[in-house]
């Protein structure tokens, strides 16, 4: 295990967790984990699905009571399992999905539930504004306190959440995938804010599956696997290859590297499965044409805002188009709804699995068979045995964990939720499957598994169309690469003929 190389190692830890263990029946979710954060330190917390990260964070926020172990903050031992206790002592959490009140102002969100009051319980608006302005000045954050939160860019909403935590006198900020939905320029802005917080002595725990971010903004890292902390290290002393090896183990790291080096399959079996001609939508995209072949993976990439997602929705019938045609197996189709597209053999994995893709309050089985429920109708009844058999087959094929169809989807890790979403559409046996950012918010191990699933679909003859802003993903999985710039499909190249530098250069060209 790499030795920790914390520059603040001679100082007492701001946050110090010792021997944290959580056992659910026969499952050890967290096993004697030690974890610490110094003042002014940005510590990455990384690991594959099921590594124990979520359990550790839930304990630190008070959402889960550990089986054993202790946590001290600024030298004070905390009473675990009590969220308000953790907040009161200075642990704040910025979650991947916003928990702001979108119709309220920035100022009201910052003080929601704890507004300063005057006589007769009236809100002291002047005191509220004065305190907020002092916070913004102290931490160098630029926000319009009167703006409606729901009308702000996503990165500004993140800053509102940060200020809300700071207003509660947070000493440690846990940031869970804070940049999952941000454009590159917004990621840089958020990283600047993090550096400001660091300079003010705030300890930050940075949870991300984006290794580039970790090497950019973090000082140290804690790597978890199978419920255990397996490595702590100074970021400057680590390489990407070593981090991946520690996260997923030798075998999966080797398999992932070998898969990326496999022969590409541009134009697949030579049969055009989908032909898009002159597709346009006013103000969005214009004159987009391409062929998608059976047995290939075509990745379309570009900057956020290049209208890739809008193009995919127009093909799928979930958004309108003004001009152009789509052909499936040589036959012109006009999908006016997703139901039309599904009947025509098209599957669509949307970008936001929580908002558009999954029913989080339903079980794994219910989500998996949602697109094919009609196949299990027996007069006025459902074939429950057939449903369970089909679900078990999908769970096994996709290595969904835990392998329990009765589990609510909201209780799965992000990577396993994504596998359920992909599996839901694969059950259709689609001729064409479209995937929009298929591994956003997913760890390295789950990414490798999803890539393997996509290659298997390609090899069975399906046409796979992937939209991705993760260029490492594009270079790993694509047989051909399409570049979108400002609503135009600028070019399509065989992936084997393109370097990462060439892709970056063409994406940025105007």
424 occurs within a structural domain: no
| 3-state secondary structure at position 471 | helix
Q: What is the pLDDT of residue 182?
A: 66
Phi-psi region of 113 (alpha: psi -120 to 50; beta: other; left: phi over 0): left
Same domain, 62 and 183: yes
Helix (H) / strand (E) containing 288: strand 285-293
- For tokens 């630029």, the residue is 142
Whether residue 99 lies inside any domain: the answer is: no
Q: Are 162 and 93 in contact, with CB atoms under 8 Å apart?
A: no
How many separate domains does the chain show? Answer: 2
Do 226 and 287 lie in one domain? The reply is no
Residue 58 confidence (pLDDT)? 92
Residue 216 has which token pair?
């950019």
Phi then psi for residue 499, to 5 deg, are -100, 165
Same domain? For 483 and 508 the reply is: yes
Which helix (H) or strand (E) is 48 found in, with range?
none
Q: What is the pLDDT of residue 249?
A: 65
Among 234, 257, 280, where does a domain finish? Answer: 257
The residue ranking higher by pLDDT, 374 or 465, is: 465
Write down the pLDDT at residue 1. Answer: 39
Confidence check: pLDDT of 457 > 70: yes
Pair type for strands 172-176 and 203-207: parallel
State whether 231 and 333 are in the same domain.
no
Domain assignment present for residue 503? The answer is yes
- Bridge partners for 24 per DSSP: 27
Does residue 393 lie within any of the structural domains?
Answer: no
Whether residue 298 contacts residue 479, with contact meaning beta carbons closer than 8 Å, is answered with yes
- CA 185 to CA 117: how far, in whole Å? 39
Q: Does 404 map to a domain?
A: no
Domain span at residue 496 reads 262-345+466-510
Same domain, 211 and 323: no
Residues 451 and 477: beta-carbon distance below 8 Å: yes
Segment 369-386 shows an average pLDDT of: 89
% pLDDT > 70, the chain = 91
Confidence at residue 2, expressed as pLDDT on a 0 to 100 scale: 41
Q: What is the dihedral of CA 140, 143, 146, 148, to 10 degrees?
A: -150
Q: What is the pLDDT of residue 3?
A: 37
Q: Which whole-number Å values give the CA distances from 303 to 184, 309, 330, 344, 509, in the listed order?
A: 8, 11, 31, 30, 11
Residues 6+ apart with CB under 8 A from 53: 45, 46, 47, 207, 224
Provide φ and ψ at 107, rounded to 5°.
Answer: -60, -45
Contact in structure between 410 and 360 (CB atoms under 8 Å):
yes
CA 94/CA 138 separation, integer angstroms: 19
What pLDDT is recorded for position 10?
44
Q: Which residue from 373, 424, 358, 356 is spatially nearest to 395, judged by alpha carbons? A: 424
Q: Which of 218, 233, 257 is the last residue of a domain?
A: 257
Least Cα distance to 421 among 442, 317, 96, 431 occurs for 442
Task: Round to whole Å and give the CA distance between 472 and 467.
Answer: 13
Q: Three-state SS for 228?
A: strand
**Could you read off the pLDDT of 262-281 as tens digits, one per residue?**
678 899 999 999 999 999 99
Are residues 299 and 175 located together in one domain of the fold? no
Q: Does residue 55 carry a pLDDT above 70?
A: yes
Which pLDDT score, from 0 to 100, does residue 8 have?
41
Q: Is the pLDDT of residue 113 over 90?
A: no
Whether 242 and 294 share a structural domain: no
Q: How confident is the model at residue 314 (pLDDT cuts 50, 70, 90)?
A: very high
Task: Check pLDDT > 90 for residue 158.
Answer: no
3-state class of 443 per DSSP? coil
Q: pTM for the whole thing?
A: 0.60
Residues 132 and 110: beta-carbon distance below 8 Å: yes
Residue among 209, 201, 181, 224 nearest 42 (CA): 201
Q: How far apart are alpha carbons 490 and 308 in whole angstroms?
A: 12
- CB-CB neighbours of 25 under 10 Å: 5
Burial of 222 (0-12, 13-18, 19+ CB in 10 A): buried
Q: What is the pLDDT of residue 98?
A: 67
Q: How large is the average pLDDT for residues 235-240? A: 90
Query: Would 111 be classed as within a structural domain?
Result: no
Q: Is the pLDDT of residue 75 over 70?
A: yes
**Average pLDDT of span 483-487:** 89
DSSP codes joined into one string, 325-374: EEEETTEEE---SHHHHHHTTEEEE-S-IIIII--TTSBHHHHHTGGGGG
Q: Are 283 and 322 in contact (CB under 8 A)?
A: no
Residue 170 pLDDT more than 60? yes
Are 238 and 221 spatial neighbours (Cβ–Cβ below 8 Å)?
yes
Mean pLDDT of 475-502: 89
Average pLDDT over residues 455-480: 90
Q: What is the mean pLDDT of residues 392-416?
A: 91
Length of the chain: 510
Residue 410's H or E segment, with its range, is none
- The tens digit of pLDDT for each residue in 4-36 reads 344 444 457 899 999 999 998 877 889 999 999
pLDDT (0 to 100) of residue 72: 95
106-120, 261-275, 282-296, range with greatest mean pLDDT: 282-296
Tell me if 357 is assigned to some domain.
no
Contacts of 204 (CB under 8 A, 6+ apart): 37, 41, 42, 43, 172, 173, 175, 194, 197, 198
Q: What is the mean pLDDT of the chain?
A: 86
Same domain for 194 and 341? no
- The sheet with strand 76-77 has its strands ordered as 27-37, 15-24, 68-73, 76-77
Question: For residue 310, what are the contacts with CB-CB under 8 A and spacing of at least 6?
Answer: 281, 284, 285, 319
Same domain, 191 and 85: yes
Residue 130 has pLDDT above 60, yes or no: yes
Dist. CA 280–CA 286, nearest whole Å: 4
Average pLDDT over residues 484-490: 90
Can you give the pLDDT at residue 278? 96
* Segment among 278-282, 328-332, 355-359, 458-462 with least mean pLDDT: 355-359
Q: Is residue 361 part of a domain?
A: no
Given 203, 222, 257, which residue is the final one in a domain?
A: 257
Residue 329 near residue 495 (C-beta atoms within 8 A) = no
pLDDT surpassing 50 at residue 486: yes
The whole-number average pLDDT for the span 64-79 is 94
Query: What pLDDT shows up at residue 510?
Result: 43
Tell me: do 224 and 322 sit in the same domain.
no
The string of pLDDT tens digits covering residues 191-220 is 888 898 899 899 999 988 777 788 999 999
Spatial distance between the Cα atoms of 478 and 432, rounded to a whole number of angstroms: 15
Give the three-class secondary structure for 12.
coil
- Looking at the structure, tell me whether residues 176 and 221 fall in a common domain: yes
CATH number at residue 43: 3.40.50.300
Q: Does one domain contain both 266 and 304? A: yes
Q: Which of 21, 18, 45 is nearest to 34 (CA)?
A: 18
């Amino acid at each position: 295990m790499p030795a920790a190389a914390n520059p603040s190692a001679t100082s007492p830890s701001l946050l110090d967790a010792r021997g944290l263990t959580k056992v659910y029946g026969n499952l050890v979710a967290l096993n004697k984990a030690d974890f610490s954060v110094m003042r002014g330190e940005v510590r990455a917390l990384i690991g594959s699905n099921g590594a124990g990260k979520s359990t550790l964070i839930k304990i630190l926020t008070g959402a889960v009571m550990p089986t054993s172990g202790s946590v001290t903050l600024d030298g004070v031992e905390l009473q675990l399992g009590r969220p308000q206790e953790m907040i009161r002592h200075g642990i704040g959490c910025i979650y991947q999905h916003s928990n702001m009140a979108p119709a309220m102002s920035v100022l009201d969100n910052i003080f929601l539930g704890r507004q300063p009051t005057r006589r007769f319980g009236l809100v002291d608006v002047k005191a509220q504004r004065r305190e907020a302005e002092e916070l913004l000045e102290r931490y160098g954050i630029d926000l319009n306190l009167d703006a409606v939160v729901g009308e702000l860019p996503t990165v500004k909403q993140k800053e509102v959440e940060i200020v809300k935590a700071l207003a509660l006198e947070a000493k440690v900020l846990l940031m869970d995938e804070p940049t999952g939905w941000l454009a590159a320029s917004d990621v840089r802005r958020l990283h600047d804010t993090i550096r400001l917080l660091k300079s003010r002595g705030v300890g930050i725990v940075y949870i991300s599956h984006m290794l580039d971010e970790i090497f950019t903004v973090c000082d140290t890292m804690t790597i978890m696997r199978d419920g255990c902390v397996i490595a702590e290290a100074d970021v400057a002393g680590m390489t990407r290859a070593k981090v991946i090896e520690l996260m997923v183990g030798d075998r999966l790291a080797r398999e992932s590297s070998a898969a990326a080096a496999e022969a590409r399959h541009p134009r697949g079996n030579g049969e055009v499965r989908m032909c898009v001609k002159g597709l346009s939508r006013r103000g969005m995209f214009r004159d987009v044409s391409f062929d998608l072949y059976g047995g290939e993976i075509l990745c379309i990439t570009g900057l956020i805002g290049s209208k890739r997602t809008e193009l995919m929705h127009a093909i799928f019938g979930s958004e309108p188009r003004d001009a152009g045609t789509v052909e499936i197996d040589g036959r012109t189709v006009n999908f006016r709804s997703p139901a039309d597209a599904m009947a025509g053999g098209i599957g669509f994995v949307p970008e936001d699995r929580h908002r558009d893709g999954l029913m989080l309050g339903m079980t794994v089985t219910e989500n998996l068979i949602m697109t094919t429920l009609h196949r299990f109708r027996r007069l006025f009844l459902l074939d429950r045995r057939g449903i369970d058999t089909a679900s078990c087959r999908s769970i096994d094929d996709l290595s969904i964990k835990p392998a329990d169809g009765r589990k609510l989807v909201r209780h799965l890790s992000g990577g396993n939720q994504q596998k359920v979403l992909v599996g839901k559409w694969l059950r259709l046996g689609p001729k064409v499957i479209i995937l929009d950012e298929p591994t956003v918010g997913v760890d390295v191990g789950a990414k490798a598994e999803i890539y393997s699933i996509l290659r298997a679909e390609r090899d069975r003859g399906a046409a796979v169309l992937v939209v991705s802003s993760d260029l490492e993903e594009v270079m790993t999985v694509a047989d051909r690469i399409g570049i979108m710039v400002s609503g135009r499909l600028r070019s399509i190249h065989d992936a084997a003929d393109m370097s990462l530098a060439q892709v970056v250069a063409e994406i940025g060209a105007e």
